Structure 1
Amino acid sequence: MEKDQLTQLYERYGEETYWYSLSLTKNREQAQELVSDAFFRLMTALDELTEEQVKFWLLRLIKNRFYDQQRYQNRWQKWFRLNGDKTDSSPATPLETLLADETKQQLYRGIEQLSANDRELLLLHYFNDWPVTDIASFLDLTYPQAKTRLYRARKRLKEVLEHDGFTEI
């Protein structure tokens, strides 16, 4: 793919993809990151797409990445139990903030006790927000293998945390 071709596509679809992304995220930085990520991924996929498919491919990728991020945030909120049983959006108290920080520190200590392979899987999936399909591709695994290894890594992390007296899981 030529650099000029990507520049032309960005000039054609950049503004529209940004506004679409902003409508989803309600956050300028996050919207810019989604658009940047989409055009970065477009560099590798452009040879497989026709001119007519590019715009909708970009919009679909932005939407999917946004929903991936939302699932990631929801997963960690449950994991850390930051909101407890609250249904309102009141700010966290200093005690809640302190407990959340302590919980994160315990989690990091638990991850450090795992093997390098387990650590890599958990960090890629939960901290870098990689979907299992990307992890599988990156580690030269099949999707079921990656999913199984991630499940086992989570299970081992849970065992380590329970052994260390961590009861928030």
Structure 2
Amino acid sequence: MIQIIRKPLRQVIGIRLISTLSTNPQVYIHENNVLSLSPSTAALSIGQLQDVGRLVETEFKAQNGFLQLMHETLREQVHDDKYFNSLAASYGEGYMAIYDMRAPPTYGRVPEVSDTFGLVLVKQGNIVPKSYEANNFYRLLSPDGVCMFTDWMYKRVRKACENYDKL
């Protein structure tokens, strides 16, 4: 037996429902299929899809400024990311890839070029601060999904997007 509970309807003004991508909880879906790292519509968005049900690069338009802000944030802060620092500790010397977490490579493997945000210089097992160099072949949307960050870096890039209009 199904019990129906009736509650009085309330008029709700100014509230809208938002959701995240099922394949990436870091990405919020706003009105008109706008993708963002923030639940706030005021934050700089990642871009817009023609159809959220189809993550196809040809149907995606990146938001002007997002890639630049993302790379600037990585340049300024990636040396403090614990995940990449742990990799650097076993890396030794040279340039190490900083990559997207939507399809992380198997340990010891090189990530796909389109999934590599950029490179950092590693000296004596440590990431050299502000040594990050952006990869111009990185794609915000790939067959593996929309950009995904380590939890630590997600918080920093999201905050930068939320503060974008305050610059």
Say whether the fold is shared (TM-score over 0.5): no
Superposition TM-score, scaled by structure 2 size: 0.28
Structure with greater strand percent: 2
Q: Which of structures 1 and 2 has the larger relative contact order (alpha carbons within 8 angstroms, sep 6+)?
A: 2
Structure with greater helix percent: 1
